[in-house]
Amino acid sequence: MPTALITGATAGIGAAFARRLAKDGLDLVLVARNSEKLAETADRLRGDYGVTVEVMQADLADDQGISRAEDRLRQGVDLLVNNAGFGHQGTFLDVPVEEELRMLKVHCEAVLRLTYAALPGMRNRRKGGIVNVASVAAFFSRGTYGASKAWVVSFSQAVAQDVKDPNVKVMALCPGFVHTEFHERAKMDVSGIPEALWLDADDVVGSALKDLKKGVQVSVPGPQYKTIVGLGKFVPRNLAGILSSKTGRRYD
């Protein structure tokens, strides 16, 4: 039975991936920090879809947590979803440098190391896929968060080029605002974001899986965000940076 490992699997886009992949009949390895939520999520997926679900309590801001996930990936999986991530409450210099480094650990180092652990087995079997969850913020100036997601996009494209096997796919997923707990956990005030800019997590996952199957290297779900990213290429970088920095960055 094909197996998918998902990080940040108990909430938001990660939970939506877990539901969709379980519905499609894949066995799952769920990675998250909260052991209670992991157990609840696993029980629900087993009951609803009859799949095998492993759980791994691990903090990917910690070397030990990353190492545990690496070890499991080296045993072999068919799909890796690097979804774990978070946002900061505040702008640069308002956030302690330790928290900025923690973000880079989760968004960049963990993504690199888990991709590195998963790919050899996929190449040997000549099949597999990796989805690295980035953000539309990757295309605009948006503090350490946007910079880290820009790294995810560039890294994913580079790895996809290096793999040189059409049956092993690597893709960066770049959603915009998605109805999840993400913004609430970061204490962001997003009340001013127009409803037209909000995406549904299940729709994001559906779009991502279609794009992965087609071999798309950078997936931007939603026509509104495809337009925004496309137009953003023609806006002066300093102006785009000013607009992006202000959008959705009020804090409670």
Catalogue the active-site residues.
145
Q: Which two tokens stand for residue 221?
A: 């779900």
What are phi and psi for residue 102, nearest 5 degrees?
Answer: -65, -40
Q: Give the helix ranges, DSSP H, for the chain.
A: 12-23, 35-49, 63-74, 97-104, 110-125, 143-163, 182-185, 201-214, 223-232, 237-246
What are phi and psi for residue 34, nearest 5 degrees?
Answer: -95, 110
Pairing of strands 198-199, 177-178: parallel
SS3 169: strand
Q: Determine the distance from the C-alpha atom of residue 241 to the mean position of all C-alpha atoms in its chain, rounded to a whole number.
A: 22
Angle (CA) 128-32-163 rounded to 5° is: 20
CB 152 within 8 A of CB 108: yes
The 3-class secondary structure across 42-105, one letter per residue, is HHHHHHHHCCCEEEEECCCCCHHHHHHHHHHHHCCCCEEEECCCCCCCCCCCCCCHHHHHHHHH
CB 165 within 8 A of CB 127: no
Beta bridge partner(s), residue 159 = none
Q: Which two tokens stand for residue 40?
A: 């609840």
